Amino acid sequence: MQEPIKILFLCTGNSCRSQMAEGLARYFKKDKVMAYSAGTHPKGIDPLAVQVMHEIGIDISKQESKHLQTLQSIKFDYIITLCDSAHQACPMIPGKTIHVGFADPPRLAEHAQSLEEKLVHYRTVRDEIRVFIQGLPENLPILLERKKQ
Tens-digit pLDDT profile for residues 121-140: 999 999 999 999 999 999 99
Residue 62 located in a structural domain: yes
Residue 67 placed within a domain: yes
Please confirm, yes or no, whether 16 is among the known catalytic residues. Answer: no
Indicate whether 138 belongs to any domain: yes
Catalytic residue among 7, 10, 11, 86: 11
Query: Does a structural domain hold residue 112?
Result: yes
**Count of domains for the chain:** 1
Q: How many beta carbons lie within 10 A of that of residue 67, not counting itself? A: 13
| Residue 85 belongs to domain with CATH number | 3.40.50.2300
Flag whether 50 is in a domain: yes
**Domain-embedded: residue 30:** yes
Q: Is the pTM of this model over 0.85?
A: yes
Mean pLDDT of 87-107: 76
Q: Which of 90, 112, 120, 143 is catalytic?
A: 90
Catalytic hit among 35, 48, 83, 136: 83
In a domain, 86, yes or no: yes
Residue range 83-98: mean pLDDT, rounded? 64
Which residue segment(s) compose the domain that 18 sits in? 5-143
149 lies in a domain?
no
Which H, E and C letters describe 25-66, residue by residue?
HHHHCCCCEEEEEEECCCCCCCHHHHHHHHHCCCCCCCCCCC
Lateral strand order in the sheet of 78-81: 33-39, 5-11, 78-81, 96-99
